[in-house]
Copies of this chain bind each other. A is one copy, B any other.
Amino acid sequence: MSWKGGQRGLRDLAEGLVKAGALQFGTFSLPGGKESSYYVNLRALPSYPGAYRLVVDAVAGLVSKKTPKADALFGIPLTGLTIASPVALALKKPLIYARTQKDSEGRVMEGEVRPGWNIAVVDDITDTGRSALASVKALEQEGGEVTHAFVLIDRLEGAAGRLKGAGVALNAVTDVLELAETLHSMELITNEHLDAVTRSVKSR
C-alpha cells in the first residue's frame, strides 16, 4: 500500500490506523479524570507494516513539499523517532534526535546541529504543541533555525496557534476531525461518534 494523497490516501490511512488499533472512537477516560470521544496512540504503529508504510510516505511527502530545502530533520522519541528515522533516510536528510536522558556532558541532542541550519521538527501527533515547542527551543539554543513542524495527526488542541506564536508553521497530514469525517463517510464509525468528535473539537 502506498500513500496516494487526497481523499483516497486519507481513506487508506484512516482505515489502516483503525485496523492497527491506533485510532478508536467511543468514550475514553484520560489521565486526570476528563473524558475524550476518541483515542489515538501511534506507539504500536510500526507493528503494522502496511499502515506504517503509509504514514512514513505521507509524512515524507509533506516534508519534501513544505520544506524541500530543510537542512535536517529532528525526531522526537520514541514514537516520533520511529517515523522521523525512515523519513530522513528516504529524503536523504541528516536526522537529529533527542536523547531520553542527558549524557555525562549534559547534552540532550544526538547528531550535529550546524549554525544556521533549518531543521524540520517531526512528531507523530500533537495536542497543545508544548512538546514540539520545547524541541524548537532546544534546537534554537543549539544554533538551529526552525520554521516548520510536522505531525501525522493534529488533535486540534491549540498546537498550531502556539507554534505560530513562535514563528513555526505546523503541518499535519491530517487531524482528528478529518479522520472522523473520513471514517464516517466510509460507514466505519457512527453518526454519534462523529458528532461527539465534532462537538469536542468545536468546544475548544
Contact = CB atoms under 8 A, between A and B. Distances in A.
Consensus secondary structure, chain A interface: mixed
A35 interface: no
A138 interface: no
Contacts of A88: 46, 49, 52
A48 B94 contact: yes
Contact of A100 (B47, B49, B100): B100
Contacts of A110: 43-44, 46-47, 78
A186 interface: no
A17 to B, nearest CB: 15
25 contacts: A43-B110, A43-B111, A44-B111, A46-B85, A46-B89, A46-B94, A46-B95, A46-B97, A46-B110, A46-B111, A47-B94, A47-B96, A47-B110, A52-B88, A52-B95, A77-B77, A77-B78, A78-B81, A78-B97, A78-B100, A81-B82, A82-B97, A86-B86, A86-B89, A100-B100
